[in-house]
Amino acid sequence: MEQAAALIGKALNATSLLAPRLAGAGAYRVFRLPLKRAAARPAEQEVLADADIGKLSVGGETAVTYRWGSGARPVLLVHGWQSRGSCFARFVPGLLEQGLSPIAFDAPAHGDATGDTTNVLAFQDAILQLSEQYGEFEAIISHSVGVMASALALRSGVRAGRLVAISGVCEFTYLFDQFCDQLALRPRLRAELRGRIERDIFPGEQDIWQRFSAVHRAAELTLPILLFHDENDQRVGMDQARRMATGFGDRARLVTTKGLGHRRILDDPDVVQGALDFVAAARNDGSAGAEAVTR
């Protein structure tokens, strides 16, 4: 992946010297293009075999939905970039044991959904549609870019009792900067890409770089929040979790892990059980506690 990104970056930078707009269009497409489509692992396939599978129309593409249980007391599972709904397979049995109904989806350009390109608004749209279908969620469990999409959806009217944010992206600017750094894009090409994102993904929107932050208008999200993040996460830096912990204040608790990285954290038994316990816990008048806990 790193080698492919380096080659793409070199090609875009070279093109930008002669045809900056063409290079900008190419960078814009790559920005919305997951460079790989995750396949369901054998253990995930076993869990998917027991799911009721449906479809959603999202931005002209077809997202795939998965439901376990009757649909009563739903818990939404929101995957991240280059991932798929089945990445939460280890969470499903425990949620079912609590009498909950796990609901997952493959966003456009991910998993078994259609499409080649997508963006965070497509994730948000899928969440909004599932909210209309199932009503208030007992909880939302999200990962990576799915964390930011979940926060956006919650601010847009989706209701949930609790939020679990694993390896979460907090700032939209972080995604942009990380992408540009990974491809080593020249400053002029960065500026061209930034303008295209503003014009094409968010036409007419104001202050997108601030508004599309998980902690923008943080006071509006009053639900308890549990954050998990690994110290060695090379995809999403630890500072993103700290920003959320600080932004949400005493409503959030941050649990720091070691040696799990960005994706293996979803398979860690302690993380899974911690999330399940948090979902099961009855609401109380106390705070979730913003202090960091290291395991």
Residues 278-295 have pLDDT tens digits of 999 844 444 444 444 544
Q: Is a pLDDT exceeding 60 seen at residue 243?
A: yes
Q: Is 23 exposed, middle or buried (0-12, 13-18, 19+ CB in 10 A)?
A: buried
In degrees to the nearest 10, what's the CA dihedral of 35, 40, 41, 47?
Answer: 150
Handedness of CA 10, 3, 256, 138 (dihedral sign): positive
Averaged pLDDT, 149-166: 97
CA distances from 167 to 237, 264, 271 (A): 8, 10, 11
Predicted pLDDT of residue 201: 85
Q: What is the pLDDT of residue 1?
A: 58
pLDDT at 11: 92
Residue 139 has pLDDT above 90, yes or no: yes
Cβ–Cβ under 8 Å, residues 186 and 248: no
CA atoms of 193 and 30, how far apart (whole Å): 10
Look at residues 156, 32, 155, 133 and name the one whose alpha carbon lies nearest to residue 76: 133
pLDDT at 290 (0 to 100): 47
The answer to whether 290 and 253 are in contact (CB under 8 A) is: yes
| Structure-block tokens of residue 213 | 């932050």
Is a pLDDT exceeding 90 seen at residue 240? yes
Higher per-residue confidence, 164 vs 281 = 164
What average pLDDT is seen over the chain? 92
Find out whether 85 and 112 touch, Cβ atoms under 8 Å.
no
pLDDT band at residue 154, thresholds of 50, 70 and 90? very high
- CA-wise closest residue to 27 among 196, 173, 208: 196
pLDDT at site 62: 98
The predicted pLDDT at position 232 comes to 93
pTM reported for the whole predicted model: 0.92
Mean pLDDT value of segment 16-39: 90
State which H helix or E strand residue 255 sits in. strand 252-257
Q: What percent of the chain has pLDDT over 90?
A: 83
Burial class (CB in 10 A: 0-12, 13-18, 19+), 207: exposed
Whole-number pLDDT of residue 208: 84
Return the pLDDT at 287: 43
Residues 6+ away with beta carbon under 8 Å from 187: none
Q: Is the pLDDT of residue 67 over 80?
A: yes
The alpha carbon of 180 is separated from its chain's Cα centroid by a whole number of angstroms, namely 19
Q: What is the pLDDT of residues 176-227, one digit of tens each?
A: 999 999 999 999 999 999 999 999 888 877 788 888 899 999 999 999 999 9
Amino acid 231: pLDDT:
96
Instruction: Tell whether the model's pLDDT for residue 12 goes beyond 50.
Output: yes
Q: How confident is the model over 88-135, as pLDDT tens digits?
A: 999 999 999 999 999 999 999 999 999 999 999 999 999 999 999 999
What's the N-to-C CA distance of the chain in angstroms?
30
What percent of the chain is modeled with pLDDT above 70?
Answer: 95
pLDDT at 284: 43
The amino acid that residue 256 corresponds to is: T
The strand pair at 61-67 and 52-58 is best described as antiparallel
The answer, yes or no, to whether residue 22 has pLDDT greater than 60, is yes
